[in-house]
Amino acid sequence: MSTLYIVATPIGNLEDFSRRAERILREVSLIAAEDTRVTGKLLKYFNISTPQTSYYEHNKASKLESVIAALESGDVALVSDAGTPAINDPGYELVRAAIDAGYEVSPIPGASASIAALAVSGLPTDTFLYLGYLPRKKKDRREKLKEVEKLPYTLIFFETPHRLLKALGDIEEVLGNRQITVAREMTKLYEEFFRGDVSAARNFFEERNIRGEFVLVIDAFHQEDVLWTEASLKDAIAAGIAEGIHPSKLAKSLAQESGWLRRDVYNRISLIK
């Protein structure tokens, strides 16, 4: 029986391509690539002449049968544009179909942007939750963040340059001013890491020309960080209102002092007013 190989490719630096991955791509009869133009550059660099076929999000349904059929006559490799296939890229359906058809499915491990960022984040790595890209729309993005706000796991998201600042703003508003690592252009020439709290991250990137690919690694919710009881919070809100402090400013200040989420503080201010 033939084998479907799930082959990880570099996320930037071509030196990260393993010798085994290079050999497998030479030996298989077909490479199913997310973008044949991107993979073509990799193959050219390593002087690999194996035929390619496209297999990506918008043609995966129509191409599935033909890729499975190719396994009848030889091994096939699945690659994405960068990193490990089937992780935030097309691949799950193909892997499932190959297994159901009785073919072997074998991983050729390598780069993964989410794991690479987590490993250097300085945040807990024992339990984590990878969630792919945050939704494009503000309402959907906030709803997704609300779903995970109380989970005791380090959170990992991908984000695009043009949505980074909006995402950081929503993260601070919904999750609170947690510790975060923002990884940019990992393994590439302009690799950069920001480590600090979310508010500082937003200020940092507001002053820069935002370019590249981003991974956000966010600290988990810690119950022990909630320092004040609800009664103490209500007393502080009442005192702040009496002093005439603007609700938004008061919510931000009390959230930092109390450990409560800024959104929850603001909601309680609205009720007291």
> In the numeric block, which tokens belong to residue 19?
């010798």
* 26-69 pLDDT tens trace: 999 999 999 999 999 999 999 999 999 999 888 888 899 999 99
Closest to 26 in 3D by CA, of 6, 47, 3, 12 = 47
What's the pLDDT score for residue 121? 98
Alpha carbons within 13 angstroms on the beta-carbon side of residue 57 total 4
Q: What is the mean pLDDT of residues 200-216?
A: 94
Query: Cα(246)–Cα(266) distance, rounded to whole angstroms?
Result: 11
Residue with tokens 């999000």: 57
Residue 74 pLDDT exceeds 70: yes
Cα torsion 116, 160, 64, 47 to 10°: value is -60
Residue 147 pLDDT exceeds 90: yes
Query: Cα(38)–Cα(158) distance, rounded to whole angstroms?
Result: 20
Query: In sequence order, which ranges of the chain are alpha helices (DSSP H)?
Result: 19-27, 36-45, 60-70, 92-100, 113-121, 138-148, 164-175, 198-206, 230-242, 247-258, 262-272
Torsional class of 177: left (φ above 0), alpha (ψ -120 to 50), beta (otherwise): beta
* 217-246 pLDDT tens trace: 999 988 766 677 788 888 889 898 889 899
Query: Cα(144)–Cα(151) distance, rounded to whole angstroms?
Result: 12
Q: Determine the Cα angle at 194 with ends 193 and 200, to 5°.
A: 170
Query: Cα(31)–Cα(38) distance, rounded to whole angstroms?
Result: 12
Q: What is the mean pLDDT of residues 122-140?
A: 95
* 98-124 pLDDT tens trace: 999 999 999 999 999 999 999 999 999
What's the pLDDT score for residue 222? 82
Query: Cα(107)–Cα(187) distance, rounded to whole angstroms?
Result: 22
* CA distances in angstroms from 135 to 19, 159, 177, listed in the order given: 37, 9, 20
What's the pLDDT score for residue 225? 67
**What is the rounded end-to-end Cα distance, in angstroms, of the chain?**
71
pTM of the model: 0.82
Q: Quick one: the chain helix, strand, coil %, rounded to 5?
A: 45, 20, 35
Q: What is the mean pLDDT of residues 158-171?
A: 96
What's the pLDDT score for residue 199? 93
Alpha carbons within 13 angstroms on the beta-carbon side of residue 52 total 20
Burial 56-78 (b: 16+ CB within 10 A, else e): beeebeebbeebbebbeeebbbb
What's the pLDDT score for residue 226? 67
Residue 185 pLDDT exceeds 80: yes
